[in-house]
Amino acid sequence: AGDGDCGHTHARAARAIQEWVCAQPPPAAPAQLLSALADLLLEKMGGSSGVLYGLFLTAAARPLLNRSDLPMWADAMDAGIEAMQRYGGAAPGDRTMLDSLCAAAQALHALRSPGTDLLPVLATAVQSAEAAAEATRHMEAGAGRASYISSAQLLQPDPGAVAVAAVLRAVLEGLRS
């Protein structure tokens, strides 16, 4: 869907992150980590996905500058989504990566409740993102590169939405191990 580069740009990003982590320890402070990842993806990922992830991570870092408790991670997700919507022009329901991100963000709002355990909330967020990605299979593309293609040709879920769900699943699995 689109110009077919989503997998290539995400693979390029994954390789860049692996090389970066092997070359130096990533920053421990969450805001610095997200900012460094934003810079890395803007430089190495390429494509509109690289720009959108860069926007997302840069905005998500801001709420984490002074606090990084669980409620602030929910705020960070909301800030990142708001930046993507403002600069990218897409909205949930447009058959883009925002469909998965917004579904995950809704689940992550549970982090604002006192005494919440991260891993079950994150697992729910991942399941929500995966379900939202699958739901894009039946959506009309309202934004992104898929919007230039006939709906009759869009038979698969949106690749950006699937990629976001995969990234969130990787974060969950990384935290579990």
36: CATH: 1.25.40.340
- Check residue 18 and give its pLDDT: 95
pLDDT digits (tens, 9 = 90+) for 39-72: 999 999 988 889 999 999 999 999 999 998 999 9
Domain count, the chain: 1
CA dist list (Å): 33 to 124, 138, 151, 174: 24, 36, 39, 16
Q: Which residue has the higher pLDDT, 141 or 108?
A: 108
- Give the chain's mean pLDDT: 90
pLDDT digits (tens, 9 = 90+) for 131-160: 999 999 886 755 565 554 555 455 678 888
Output the pTM of the full model. 0.89
- Check residue 1 and give its pLDDT: 45
Domain limits for position 48: 5-176
Distance, in Å, from the CA atom of 73 to the CA atom of 62, rounded to the nearest integer, reads 10
- Nearest-CA neighbor of 45 among 16, 81, 24, 75? 16
CB distance 141 to 94 below 8 Å: yes
Task: Report, as an integer, the average pLDDT of 160-175.
Answer: 95
Residue 3 has pLDDT above 60, yes or no: no
- For a pLDDT cut of 90, what percent of the chain falls above it? 74
> Cβ contacts of residue 135 below 8 Å, gap of 6+?
99, 157
